[in-house]
Amino acid sequence: MRIRIQALLVVGALAVSTVSSWAVELKLKWQPGKRYVFEHSSDYTAKMPLPGQGLMETKGKMVMTMNNDVSAHEKGVKVGTAFAGIRMRSEMQGLVMDYDSENPAKSGGILGPLLQPLADAKYDAIYSKDGTLLEMKGLDQVQAPGQMGIGKAELEAMARQSSKFLPKQDVKPGDSWQSDMELPMGALGGDLSIKYSFKLEAIEERKGRAIAKVSITGTMNDAVEEGGESVLNVEAKSVSGEMLFDIELGQPLELRTVLDLEMVVPGPVEAGAPGKMPMKTLSVQKLLKVEDLPAKAAKPSGTTEKKSTAPSGNPKPSASSRGETLTPEEKKARRKARREKRKAAKP
C-alpha cells in the first residue's frame, strides 16, 4: 500500500513538473463565426499644476465593452469591432462628469457630444493566420475624441497590442522576450516609445485550462514629435503589468498594465506654477465571453422568392394579410357570397 501511494506521488510530481516546464506557443487566435466580448477599462489620476495653487488632483475612469465579430478573410480573418457600451466618470476640482451610452439620463452633458460618436463607431481589423495585425479599415470614418486620449491612434494601438505582446517562438517558463510599441499621447502631442520586456513566469491550470502567466516590465523614451509641438515632455518612472493567456483559446483572458509617468512642462514655467505633473494610469483588458455570432435573418438556401402576380394599383388586402382570423362559419358564408357574385356577373 505504501509503495502504491509513493508511486502515485511520483507520478503526480512528474505531471506538475511537466505542466510547468513545457514549451508552448503563445499565438493570437481568432475563430471565424465567433464573437469575442472584451472589456477595456482605464483608470487615471493626475496632479495638474495651477499657478499659485500648487497641484490640483484630477481622476477619471473609462470602461468600454467591445464586440469583436470574426469572419474569414483571404489574408486570414477579419475582426469587426463595435461598441456595446461606453461609460466614463471624470472628477476635477469638485466638478464631476458622468457619461453612459446605455443610460439616456447620462448620455448627454459635456461628455455626450464627445463620446457618443465613438459609441456608434464600427471598424475592422485584418489579422494574418499567425495572429499578426495587418491593417485597419474604417478608422478614418470614426469620430473618436482624441483630446480625451481615445482617438484613432489609440484604437489602433489597442488592436495591435495583443499580437505585439506575444513572442515569435515557442517559450517555456523562465523565457523572456521584448517588443517595442508606440503609445499615442493624445492631446499631449507625439508618441511615447516603450520597450516592453516579458517573462513567462509559469503555466498554471485553471478550471481545466492551461493558462500562461506572463509578467510585464518596460522602459520608455521621451515623446517623439510627429508634426506640431509636444505640450509636455514625458518622463518614465515605472512600467509594470501582467498577462494571463489562455493557450488553447489563443486569447489573453486578462491584460493589466500600470504606467507611472511624470509630465514636465517644457520651457519657462509661470511663477508659482509647479513644473511637473505626476500621472498614473491603470489599464485592464478582460475577455468577458466567447459566443456564436447572432444568426442573421436570411432566406433558406435553395429557395427562390416568388414574383408578385397581383395587378397594378392598390388591390384590397385579404383578411389573412390584415391579420384577421375567420371562423369556419364566416369562411363558408364568404365562399357562398363569392359564388353568388360570380353567377350574377354571368350574362
Asked if residue 319 is part of any domain, the answer here is no
Asked if residue 160 is part of any domain, the answer here is yes
pLDDT averaged over every residue in the chain: 77
Nearest to 78 by CA among 148, 7, 126, 133: 126
Asked if residue 168 is part of any domain, the answer here is yes
pLDDT tens digits along 235-251? 768 999 999 999 999 99
Per-residue confidence band for 301, with pLDDT thresholds at 50, 70 and 90? very low
Residue 36 and residue 65: Cα distance in Å, rounded? Answer: 11
Which residues have C-beta within 8 Å of that of residue 104, sequence separation ≥ 6?
A: none
Number of domains observed in the structure of the chain: 1
- The label of the residue with cell 517555456 reads 172
* pLDDT top residue among 270 and 221: 221
Asked if residue 339 is part of any domain, the answer here is no
Asked if residue 191 is part of any domain, the answer here is yes
- The yes-or-no verdict on residue 304 having pLDDT over 50 is no
The domain containing residue 58 runs over which residues? 33-292
Q: pLDDT at position 319, please?
A: 46
Asked if residue 6 is part of any domain, the answer here is no
Q: pLDDT at position 322, please?
A: 41
Q: pLDDT at position 178, please?
A: 94
311-316 contact pairs (CB < 8 A, 24+): none
Asked if residue 75 is part of any domain, the answer here is yes
Nearest to 202 by CA among 27, 15, 28, 16: 16
CATH number at residue 250: 2.30.230.10
Asked if residue 113 is part of any domain, the answer here is yes
Residue 117 and residue 122: Cα distance in Å, rounded? Answer: 10
What pTM was computed for the model?
A: 0.73
Per-residue confidence band for 12, with pLDDT thresholds at 50, 70 and 90? very low
Secondary structure of the chain as H, E, C letters: CHHHHHHHHHHHHHHHHHHHHCCECCCCCCCCCEEEEEEEEEEEEEEEEECCCEEEEEEEEEEEEEEEEEEEECCEEEEEEEEEEEEEEEEECCEEEEEECCCHHHCCCCCHHHHHHHHCCEEEEEEECCCCEEEEECHHHCCCCHHHCCCHHHHHHHHHHHHHCCCCCCECCCCEEEEEEEEECHHHCCEEEEEEEEEEEEEEEECCEEEEEEEEEEEEEEEECCCCCCCCEEEEEEEEEEEEEECCCCEEEEEEEEEEEEEECCCCCCCCCCCEEEEEEEEEEEEEEEEECCCCCCCCCCCCCCCCCCCCCCCCCCCCCCCCCCCHHHHHHHHHHHHHHHHHHCC
Q: How many other CB atoms sit within 10 Å of the CB of residue 38?
A: 21
Please tell me the total number of residues recorded for the chain in this structure. Answer: 347
b vs e for 216-240, b when ≥16 Cβ sit within 10 Å of the residue's Cβ? bebebeebeeeeeebebbbebeebe
